[in-house]
Amino acid sequence: MQSRRNEEPEISTSEPALRIIMRRLREIMAEAGDGQSRLNKIVRHVAGVMVAEVCSIYLKRRDGSLELFATEGLNPDAVHTTRLKRGEGLVGRCAELGITINLPDAQKHPAFSYRPETGEEQYHSLLAVPILRSGQLLGVLVIQNHAFKEYSEDDVETLQATAMVVAEHLVSGAVANAEADAEISRSLAAVIKGEVLSEGIGLGRVVLHAPRIVVTKLTADDPASELKRLEAAIIELRSGLDEMLEQEQVANDGEHRDVLEAYRMFAHDRGWERRIREAVQSGLTADAAVERVQNSSRARMLRNADPYWQERQRDFDDLSDRMLRILAGHPSGVQPQLEMPADTILIARNMGPAELLDYDPAKLRGLVVEDGSAQSHVAVVAKALGIPAVGQAVGVVEHVSPGDNAIIDAETGEVYLRPLSDVMAAFSDKVRFRARRQKKYDALRDLPAVTKDGKRIELNINAGLLYDLAHLEESGADGVGLFRTELQFMVSHTLPRLERQAETYRQAIAAAAGKPVVFRALDIGGDKVLPYLRQVKEENPAIGWRAVRMSLDRKGLLRTQLRALFKATVGGELRLMVPMITTTREMVEVKHIVDAELGRARRKGMPCPERVRLGAMFEVPSLLFELDELFKIVDFVSIGTNDLMQFLFAADRTNAMVGSRYDVLSRAPLRALKQILAAGIRHNVPITVCGEMAGRPIDAMALVALGFRSVSMAPAAVGPVKAMLLSLDISDAARELERLIDRGEKDIRHSLVRFAEKAGVDH
Ligand code: PEP
Ligand code: MG
């Protein structure tokens, strides 16, 4: 082989072509110039070394087509003009099947597709190899010659190896332009980390939620007929929402219902309607008017960094988008030409709660949104429908194409785009495994949680919204050990009034069907901001003005909640616990308020429970030093290990950088837990543990080994923890734990896992 062109460096005939190409590619990468000029140099050089009249690079576009990005030998005008549809021609076939094509007379092949603009009719032989990176196709590298020749094995190997190097450079962003880089990043496997909105795992194919309608016609020729269009659209909007709310899956009670009702209220908002109407009267088209009003309301709301107002803005955006689509003649965000696959992973920049309902939930395997927090309305609806969802998946829309494979792991918050086959297989296994495991846990549902040595352990669930209550029956738990009442406040648009609160508590009690429910007084403040309550910005919200500190300063809030709880538990027993108690004194104050309210209700003949059992949440380490004083005045104690550990270790529970630094299964916290338990036994006060640790089998094993007999956890943890308990002999575990603590074992967790393995404890 020899160099064909003067500008190419001298090539020694004894040096293998591949080595020459590699060396020159390295040089090209080191030279100045933009991506396009590098691609041009690459094709020129490869053609030279391989003595080919033509060398071209085609890159894959978002829609699966292949675009000619650089060529030596074909007509330069064809660059960025010639595009082959997915699978079209020999190049398309090479890409589609991921195979090398080596033909002495390409034009005779039935798949040959002639593109006059390229001027390729004069070339007969063709060698095309896919440009692949980690199994993902980025493009095709082609050489062609006039002569009818079959390329040698050496040629094939050289071109394939060249394609591999080109792929590396393409991925590094060194050889293409920004547009091509974006295309390339869309063809590679990628993982995007977000935040879990609704738990579960889903595998499927990507459907992109319809992007916003772009309004192009701004002014109306005939405002009167434009007003009529507007009226018709408003009617359609409202009746569409009515219909949606009648759907079976959404018609039931629950917070998602509140969210959707509020959304419907917005659609009837007179101010909104009037502003749009005025904009039409001023000469805009109905579409432009909707957009104008949306923009100005967004400008106003964006000035407000508050999550509440941002959520309102999302509702209004959703509503306006829906209006624009109605005006454009295709009312739902589901793309009209799109057949929704039976395994749809829906991906959207943002999505309102009603938009999600445009899609058939039976076909939805997952939802990924670029914004959206766990309290966002779309998250509430996704949870209610049982659809795994991940939010805060920054940049996901830019990284996918419709039809891509995707996996949503809404246990870890990861979204896998175009996963390689082994990742797909691993997740399919995981889904099957989950289903099998679930079956096993379902089978334990009706068994009491009794250990091998005959100790009965009380297993409760943590809940916060009404639909969580369904898990009580499903999991076979003994009751609700922690009902986080603040969640109703967080998904609500306005401060829930007494009657609305009472209704929620009533429904929670009814859903528990006779099993006990422990309500927790509001744990708001800090980072759980309620926009309708004025709040000062704090440097350290977790240790700031939150929970009982706020309730004692704003007693009206606590009193209203107490009255609502009294109403809901009329004639029965109210179990109420107070979060973030830091001193016994605070508990005394709360007790006074509760007693005063109860006395008042009784005196006035107002609805109230027969009995109130008042407990403290043990979340602040200061209480360790007034255990006896505290236990003398409470009816029960619930240990919130999430907060207790963050304060004990001075390690922010939301900060991943310190999250794994300290272990609850280590000497200090285990000793603290033991002391609290001992105080409970001394004072005959029941104690339970309701932090996350109670839901992890090994941690729960340590808790029962310490002596705890009641725990409360996320519903999904009940099965695994029960399986652990059924296979456990507590006295063995207690001895082992004691020994580990006393001898100063560095890694208690690891030793407990080894113990569980040896003792056959299911963990
Ligand atoms: C805890 O702190 O352990 C707890 C259960 O409360 P939350 O997680 O709601 O703060
Ligand atoms: Mg807490």
Q: Are residues 146 and 239 in the same domain?
A: no
pLDDT band at 15 (very low <50, low <70, confident <90, very high): low
If you average pLDDT over residues 390-397, what whole number do you get? 88
Q: Are residues 240 and 132 in the same domain?
A: no
What pLDDT is recorded for position 7? Answer: 45
- Tell me the three state secondary structure of residue 207: strand
201 within 8 A of 390, measured Cβ to Cβ: no
pLDDT at 726 over 50: yes
Ligand 1: centre distance to CA 580 (Å): 9
Residue 216 domain-assigned?
A: no
Sheet architecture: strand order including 200-208: 190-193, 414-417, 405-410, 200-208, 344-348, 364-369, 389-391, 195-198
Query: How far, in whole angstroms, is CA 486 from its chain's centroid?
Result: 22
Mean pLDDT of the chain: 87
Pocket test for ligand 1, best of 375, 460, 484 (most atoms within 8 A of CB): 484
Which residues sit opposite 389 in a β-bridge?
198, 367
148 within 8 A of 104, measured Cβ to Cβ: yes
Residue 712 domain-assigned?
A: yes
> What number does the ligand 1 atom closest to the CA of 579 have?
6
Q: Are residues 196 and 240 in the same domain?
A: no
- Phi, psi dihedrals of residue 69, rounded to the nearest 5°: -100, -30
Query: How far, in whole angstroms, is CA 467 from its chain's centroid?
Result: 19
> Which residues have a Cβ under 8 Å from the Cβ of 437 and sit 6 or more positions away?
719, 720
If you average pLDDT over residues 722-735, what whole number do you get? 97
Is the Cβ atom of 484 under 6 angstroms away from ligand 1?
A: yes
Q: Are residues 615 and 486 in the same domain?
A: yes
> What number does the ligand 1 atom closest to the CA of 523 have?
9
Pocket test for ligand 1, best of 617, 620, 676, 688 (most atoms within 8 A of CB): 617
Place of tokens 């059924």: 726
The ligand minimizing its distance to the Cα of 580 is 2
Ligand 1: centre distance to CA 33 (Å): 56
C-alpha span between 589 and 609 (Å, rounded): 20
Is the Cβ atom of 688 under 6 angstroms away from ligand 1?
A: no
pLDDT band at 301 (very low <50, low <70, confident <90, very high): low
C-alpha span between 733 and 755 (Å, rounded): 8
Structure-block tokens of residue 530:
């309620």
Nearest CA, atom 4, ligand 1: 640
Residue 580: give its domain's CATH number.
Answer: 3.20.20.60
521 within 8 A of 578, measured Cβ to Cβ: yes
Using CA atoms, how far residue 656 sits from 193, 564, 640, 651, 660, in Å, is 13, 38, 19, 10, 7
Using left for φ > 0, alpha for ψ between -120 and 50, and beta otherwise, residue 87 falls in left
- By percentage, how much of the chain surpasses pLDDT 70? 89
- Taking the whole predicted model, whether its pTM rises above 0.95 is answered as no
Roughly what angle, to the nearest 10 degrees, separates helices 255-267 and 307-328?
Answer: 60
Q: Are residues 239 and 306 in the same domain?
A: yes
If you average pLDDT over residues 547-573, what whole number do you get? 95
Domain's final residue, options 401, 436, 471: 436
If you average pLDDT over residues 658-683, what whole number do you get? 93
Place of tokens 């030409």: 337
Is the Cβ atom of 396 under 6 angstroms away from ligand 1?
A: no
pLDDT band at 221 (very low <50, low <70, confident <90, very high): confident
- Tell me the three state secondary structure of residue 639: strand
What pLDDT is recorded for position 315? Answer: 77
> Which residues have a Cβ under 8 Å from the Cβ of 108 and sit 6 or more positions away?
none
Ligand 2: centre distance to CA 542 (Å): 9
Domain's final residue, options 328, 346, 368: 328
Q: Are residues 92 and 38 in the same domain?
A: yes
> Which residues have a Cβ under 8 Å from the Cβ of 607 and sit 6 or more positions away?
566, 567, 570, 601
C-alpha span between 208 and 62 (Å, rounded): 13
- Tell me the three state secondary structure of residue 292: helix
What pLDDT is recorded for position 388? Answer: 93
- Maximum average pLDDT range among 78-92, 240-254, 662-676: 662-676
pLDDT band at 489 (very low <50, low <70, confident <90, very high): confident
Residue 508 domain-assigned?
A: yes
> What number does the ligand 1 atom closest to the CA of 643 have?
2
- Tell me the three state secondary structure of residue 196: strand
**Sign of the torsion formed by the C-alpha atoms of 304, 305, 308 and 313:** positive
Nearest CA, atom 3, ligand 1: 640
Nearest CA, atom 8, ligand 1: 642
Closest C-alpha to 762, from 718, 708, 697 = 697
The ligand minimizing its distance to the Cα of 528 is 1
Residue 728 domain-assigned?
A: no
Q: What is the largest CA-CA distance in the chain?
A: 107
Q: Are residues 196 and 178 in the same domain?
A: no
If you average pLDDT over residues 157-172, what whole number do you get? 84
What pLDDT is recorded for position 534? Answer: 67
Residue 736 domain-assigned?
A: no
Question: How many Cβ atoms are within 10 Å of 372's Cβ, its own excluded?
Answer: 27
Q: Are residues 429 and 497 in the same domain?
A: no
Nearest CA, atom 1, ligand 1: 640
Residue 147 domain-assigned?
A: yes
Domain count, the chain: 4
Higher pLDDT, 536 or 705: 705
Is the Cβ atom of 690 under 6 angstroms away from ligand 1?
A: yes
pLDDT at 625 over 90: yes
Is the Cβ atom of 643 under 6 angstroms away from ligand 1?
A: yes
The ligand minimizing its distance to the Cα of 690 is 1
pLDDT at 324 over 80: yes
Residue 99: give its domain's CATH number.
Answer: 3.30.450.40
DSSP string, 460-496: EEEE-SGGGGHHHHHHT-SEEEEEETHHHHHH-SSPP
Ligand 1: centre distance to CA 505 (Å): 20
Q: Are residues 99 and 44 in the same domain?
A: yes
> What number does the ligand 1 atom closest to the CA of 642 have?
3
Ligand 2: centre distance to CA 308 (Å): 22
If you average pLDDT over residues 184-203, what whole number do you get? 83
The ligand minimizing its distance to the Cα of 462 is 1
> What number does the ligand 1 atom closest to the CA of 484 have?
9
pLDDT at 205 over 70: yes
What pLDDT is recorded for position 406? Answer: 94
Using only C-alpha atoms, the chain has a radius of gyration, in whole angstroms, of 33
Which of 335-339, 414-418, 509-513 is the least confident region? Answer: 335-339
Higher pLDDT, 250 or 55: 55
Ligand 2: centre distance to CA 176 (Å): 51
If you average pLDDT over residues 567-590, what whole number do you get? 97
Closest C-alpha to 123, from 151, 95, 99 = 151
What pLDDT is recorded for position 147? Answer: 94
What pLDDT is recorded for position 733? Answer: 97
Pocket test for ligand 1, best of 518, 546, 690 (most atoms within 8 A of CB): 690
pLDDT at 348 over 70: yes
Residue 114 domain-assigned?
A: yes
What pLDDT is recorded for position 244? Answer: 77
**Sign of the torsion formed by the C-alpha atoms of 341, 346, 347 and 348:** positive
DSSP summary character for residue 437: H
Q: Are residues 138 and 274 in the same domain?
A: no
Q: Are residues 369 and 304 in the same domain?
A: no
144 within 8 A of 126, measured Cβ to Cβ: yes
- Phi, psi dihedrals of residue 711, rounded to the nearest 5°: -140, 155
449 within 8 A of 762, measured Cβ to Cβ: no
Domain's final residue, options 278, 303, 328: 328
CA dihedral (544, 548, 553, 559) in degrees, to 10, reads 150
Using CA atoms, how far residue 332 sits from 269, 319, 324, 404, 475, in Å, is 21, 11, 10, 22, 37
If you average pLDDT over residues 352-368, what whole number do you get? 84
Nearest CA, atom 6, ligand 1: 640
Ligand 1: centre distance to CA 427 (Å): 31
Residue 722 domain-assigned?
A: no
Ligand 1: centre distance to CA 462 (Å): 10
Residue 359: give its domain's CATH number.
Answer: 3.50.30.10
Structure-block tokens of residue 94:
């090479």
Ligand 1: centre distance to CA 653 (Å): 10
pLDDT band at 250 (very low <50, low <70, confident <90, very high): low
Tens of pLDDT, residues 445-471: 999 999 999 999 999 999 887 777 888
Using CA atoms, how far residue 202 sits from 58, 186, 366, 403, 671, in Å, is 33, 20, 6, 15, 41
Nearest CA, atom 9, ligand 1: 484
pLDDT at 337 over 70: no
pLDDT at 2 over 50: no
> Which residues have a Cβ under 8 Å from the Cβ of 45 and sit 6 or more positions away?
8, 21, 24, 25, 28
Ligand 1: centre distance to CA 641 (Å): 7
If you average pLDDT over residues 229-255, what whole number do you get? 80
- Tell me the three state secondary structure of residue 439: helix
Structure-block tokens of residue 350:
């943002």
The ligand minimizing its distance to the Cα of 664 is 1
Tens of pLDDT, residues 23-62: 888 888 888 778 888 899 999 999 999 999 999 999 988 7
C-alpha span between 638 and 327 (Å, rounded): 55
Is the Cβ atom of 619 under 6 angstroms away from ligand 1?
A: yes
- Maximum average pLDDT range among 257-261, 393-397, 467-471: 393-397
What pLDDT is recorded for position 11? Answer: 44
Ligand 2: centre distance to CA 579 (Å): 7
- Phi, psi dihedrals of residue 528, rounded to the nearest 5°: -90, 85
Ligand 1: centre distance to CA 592 (Å): 24
pLDDT band at 114 (very low <50, low <70, confident <90, very high): confident
What pLDDT is recorded for position 253? Answer: 66
Structure-block tokens of residue 748:
């208690």
Q: Are residues 319 and 363 in the same domain?
A: no
> What number does the ligand 1 atom closest to the CA of 482 have?
5
92 within 8 A of 70, measured Cβ to Cβ: no
pLDDT at 267 over 90: no
Is the Cβ atom of 641 under 6 angstroms away from ligand 1?
A: yes
pLDDT band at 306 (very low <50, low <70, confident <90, very high): low
Q: Taking the CA of residue 670 as centre, how many other CA atoms within 13 Å lie in the half-sphere pointing to its CB?
A: 27
> Which structural domain, as residue segments, surrounds residue 402?
190-210+334-436
Which of 76-80, 237-241, 588-592, 666-670 is the least confident region? Answer: 237-241
Is the Cβ atom of 691 under 6 angstroms away from ligand 1?
A: yes
C-alpha span between 449 and 456 (Å, rounded): 6
357 within 8 A of 382, measured Cβ to Cβ: no
Roughly what angle, to the nearest 10 degrees, separates helices 270-281 and 223-246?
Answer: 160
Task: Indicate the burial class of 603 (C-beta count within 10 angstroms; 0-12, 13-18, 19 or more).
Answer: exposed
pLDDT at 9 over 50: no
Ligand 1: centre distance to CA 440 (Å): 29
Roughly what angle, to the nearest 10 degrees, separates helices 697-706 and 748-759?
Answer: 90
What pLDDT is recorded for position 13? Answer: 47
C-alpha span between 207 and 205 (Å, rounded): 7
DSSP summary character for residue 213: P
Ligand 2: centre distance to CA 504 (Å): 21
